[in-house]
Structure 1
Amino acid sequence: MSSSPVAPRSVPARASDARPSLTVLSGFWPEAVREVAGTLLARDPALLVVRHEIHDDHVRRTVRSGAGVLEDVRVELVHTCVTCTLREDVLPTVARLAAAHPDRDLVVHLPELAEPEMLADAWPESVRVDSYVTVVDGEHVLDALGTDEDLAALGLAGDDERTLAELVVRQIEYADTLVVHGDADGRVRALLHRLAPWAARAGAGELRRHTHRHRPETPAVLARGLEGFALGVHEPAPENDVVSAVFRARRPFHPGRLHDALDEINESVLRSRGHFWLAGQPETVIAWEFAGGSLGLRSLGRWLTAVPDAEWDLASDQRRLAAAMDWDPYYGDRHHHLVFIGLELDAAALHRRLTGCLLTDAELAEGEAGWRRLPDPMAGAFGTP
């Protein structure tokens, strides 16, 4: 077991960036997103607004400026994968426009089924991503988050097994700016704050560019806790019925007790996310993601305490710093960090249920050799560490 990760290296200060600025607009409600894009274009007619509409057998790409439509092109749909299609056309289009017009900023209006995180690592170096903006319909977002139907069943995508709630919540959480379109009551506003407390909020006519809100070093949502970033806010007292509860603990979950309690744990939850560890698989960081009635668990790699010291440099500087700041002499960097968000959620009862899934003192005293002998319904589910 490793002792403690070394401190990270210093990061040089950012230099000024004269590249064209890119604003990425996402949202499940295309009319609302289109209105926001139109508002930005009206303020700055020199903007280049790139929009992709995905149809059954083709993609329609349009490029607009304040002078009108500059491009209107039909692109044959080779993949049923939305992300694959976008990578093959959106990215080279942005690179081409930035090269041809280095003095003009860009806005990319993604299709309604696109998750912005899927493109985050692929934008051309010729542009500077300024902000990821998600537009939500204030009157309908709560219904979308509460549904457990997948996109295929809703007739929105042929074989897409993502639920509508998963799509919408991922669009919301990746944003550094949320724009609420239309009327939104106090419950919706409280829910959006708890889903993405790191995001600034603006009305449809209030959005500004050149905010420099995007931070490329910020990790993906499910890895935020490992890197020392906030996963959510602990506000167990209801605000307009909305509750957000953070659960943190050191000792591992008993795999059998946790498995048996999963349905009950998420019974009143709209969204839960984070990471945890199991006694029977002590090397593995396990991601937890629940939305739309579906719980996804997958490996996020290995805990630093489970890898040789020589491999610590393979982790990010921020991951190593976060581990060093919270290192435990016995557990190392292993811990649980989970956030649960719901309506009329009983935070105290949820905490008791999760605590009941932790190893008891007697089970803990058996040590790792004993933990590995515990019945584990999830054995082998996360691959070989």
Structure 2
Amino acid sequence: MTEEGRRKLPVVIVCGLHSEARREVVEGLLATVPHSVALHHDLSTATGATVRRILRDATGELSTGETPLVNDCACCALREDLVPELRRLADGGLTRLAVLELWDSVEPKSMAEVIAVHGADGFEVTNVITAIDPTLVLPCLTNGDDLAEAGLAAAPADQRTVGDTWARQVEYAPVLALVDSPAADDEDRALIRQLNPMARQVRSDSDELARLAVAGFDVGAAAAGQHPACALLPQEAEEAGVSTLVWRRHRPFHPERLYDALEDLCCAAARSRGRFWLADRPDTLLSWDAAGGALCVENTGPWLASLPDAAWAMVEPYRRAAAALDWHTEHGDRCQHLVFVSPGLDRDGLTGLLESCLLTDEEYRAGREAWKNLPAAFDALLDPV
């Protein structure tokens, strides 16, 4: 058989902060899919300047090894070691499915993209599964501790929190595998559904996982679904005391009033995310990402409306489609599109606070030249010295 005609080795990524739930999913796949193996890099050994690699099948460990840290970063070592291991499994021709079990705080997006770049090597991502203990979803989501404080940092400079890391693990995966937890209630399950309403939910011990593991995965579409400019944000929902509020406006925020309200806004919901714009920065698309009371606001480039027409041909179709959905005759794709998900959400209070941060009618009529003179409250946050 030619190199081009050889079947690529399917790789399913299993991730999640809940290690016991993750292990249950992996063991289930190994038991169900003949000639499957699980590859796991234990980053807890990184304090000793190495990452431990474990390869196992349904009968137990097949091999172990160590790889040195790269740039003092455990995740970098994982990436450097991962591709050769997958290439070796693919070349061997005996493995039917490779289950990549990520360590607790490793996010699947970066690993899926590493594998996609090396797709010509004979392997490909066929799905991403996040393993979940429903009773731990809210405690993890509202945990604002740095990963370093929890002993889960992948590098000395890792500034992620438990809450935002967990949120992205849940929101990225097309499949959510839930372990059977008698203590879980309707609120726990509603929260999971509203965090990622597009995901397929299955029991962690379901035989269906074997089929879903090779169902197919589009790395580019998954990345676009997470990008602030075109994210596939949840829709309005209300179930079992859990609410999703979708707040969309075209009028810009007053930078100082929004800045003063940041603490109240990011603590108003267990999870919030989206995109927004400020009156004094009309060409800058800003991302909003909050969990566990910790908020990250970043400059993610220009709004499409601020680009020359010739530049649109170089913009990804996902981005152009998202811009068309939000298009405004005066402001183009500039908009406030924020989503808040939480049990016990105070919809009216949150909406009122957001509305109070917009420009007033008088401020709006003053026009863009006047907006440039508004207090540049976000400069310290977005343009640190």
Give the TM-score, by structure 1 length: 0.88
Work out whether residues 225 and 231 of structure 1, in 8 Å CA contact, stay in contact via their aligned partners in 2.
no
SS in 2 for 1:208: helix
Match of 1:135 in 2: 131
Shift of 1:193: 0.8
Decide which structure has greater helix share.
Answer: 2
Distance in 1 between residues matched to 2:41 and 2:249, nearest whole Å: 44
**Corresponding residue to 1:39 among 13, 28, 38:** 28
Deviations 1:343-377 (A, max 9, x none): 21111221121111111222111221111111121
Q: Which letter does structure 2 place at the counterpart of 1:336? A: Q
Distance in 2 between residues matched to 1:265 and 1:108, nearest whole Å: 37
| 1:175 and 2:178 matched | no
Distance in 2 between residues matched to 1:370 and 1:209, nearest whole Å: 59
CA, structure 1 residues 120+368, in 2 after alignment: closer, same or farther (shift >3 Å)? farther
Distance in 2 between residues matched to 1:382 and 1:210, nearest whole Å: 45
Matched residue pairs, number? Answer: 366
Q: Which letter does structure 2 place at the counterpart of 1:70? A: L
Match of 1:208 in 2: 209
Distance in 1 between residues matched to 2:247 and 2:87, nearest whole Å: 43
Deviations 1:5-38 (A, max 9, x none): xxxxxxxxxxx99422111000112222122111
Match of 1:291 in 2: 291
Match of 1:9 in 2: none
Q: Which letter does structure 1 place at the counterpart of 2:188? A: V
CA, structure 1 residues 152+221, in 2 after alignment: closer, same or farther (shift >3 Å)? farther
Deviations 1:216-246 (A, max 9, x none): 232537755633x5301212x4x33211111
Q: How does 1:332-343 map to 2 (within 5 A)?
A: 332-343=332-343
Work out whether residues 225 and 337 of structure 1, in 8 Å CA contact, stay in contact via their aligned partners in 2.
no
Shift of 1:154: 2.6
**Corresponding residue to 2:89 among 97, 120, 128:** 97
Q: Which letter does structure 2 place at the counterpart of 1:245? A: L
Shift of 1:156: 3.6
Q: Which runs of 5+ in 2 are unaligned?
A: none
Deviations 1:53-93 (A, max 9, x none): 12122222122234543321122334442321221112321
Distance in 1 between residues matched to 2:382 and 2:315, nearest whole Å: 19
Shift of 1:105: 1.9
| 1:86 and 2:78 matched | yes
SS in 2 for 1:217: helix
Work out whether residues 60 and 72 of structure 1, in 8 Å CA contact, stay in contact via their aligned partners in 2.
yes
Distance in 2 between residues matched to 1:333 and 1:291, nearest whole Å: 26
Q: Which runs of 5+ in 1 are unaligned?
A: 1-15
Q: Which letter does structure 1 place at the counterpart of 2:167? A: V
Shift of 1:295: 0.5
Distance in 2 between residues matched to 1:254 and 1:74, nearest whole Å: 53
Percent identity over the alignment is: 36
Question: Aligned Cα RMSD in Å?
Answer: 2.3
Give the TM-score, by structure 2 length: 0.88
Q: How does 1:1-385 map to 2 (within 5 A)?
A: 18-54=7-43, 55=45, 56-57=47-48, 58-66=50-58, 68-101=60-93, 104-123=96-115, 124-125=118-119, 126-157=122-153, 159=156, 160-183=158-181, 184-206=184-206, 207-211=208-212, 212-220=215-223, 223-224=226-227, 226-227=229-230, 230-235=232-237, 237=238, 239-379=239-379, 381-382=381-382
CA, structure 1 residues 318+156, in 2 after alignment: closer, same or farther (shift >3 Å)? closer
Distance in 2 between residues matched to 1:173 and 1:253, nearest whole Å: 27
Deviations 1:87-139 (A, max 9, x none): 11123211221222276221100111201112232102022211110111223
Distance in 1 between residues matched to 2:337 and 2:224, nearest whole Å: 12
Match of 1:4 in 2: none
Work out whether residues 53 and 65 of structure 2, in 8 Å CA contact, stay in contact via their aligned partners in 1.
yes
Distance in 1 between residues matched to 2:76 and 2:188, nearest whole Å: 33
Work out whether residues 130 and 209 of structure 1, in 8 Å CA contact, stay in contact via their aligned partners in 2.
no
Q: Which letter does structure 2 place at the counterpart of 1:129? A: V
Once the two structures are overlaid, the 10-residue window that deviates more, 61-70 or 287-296, is: 61-70
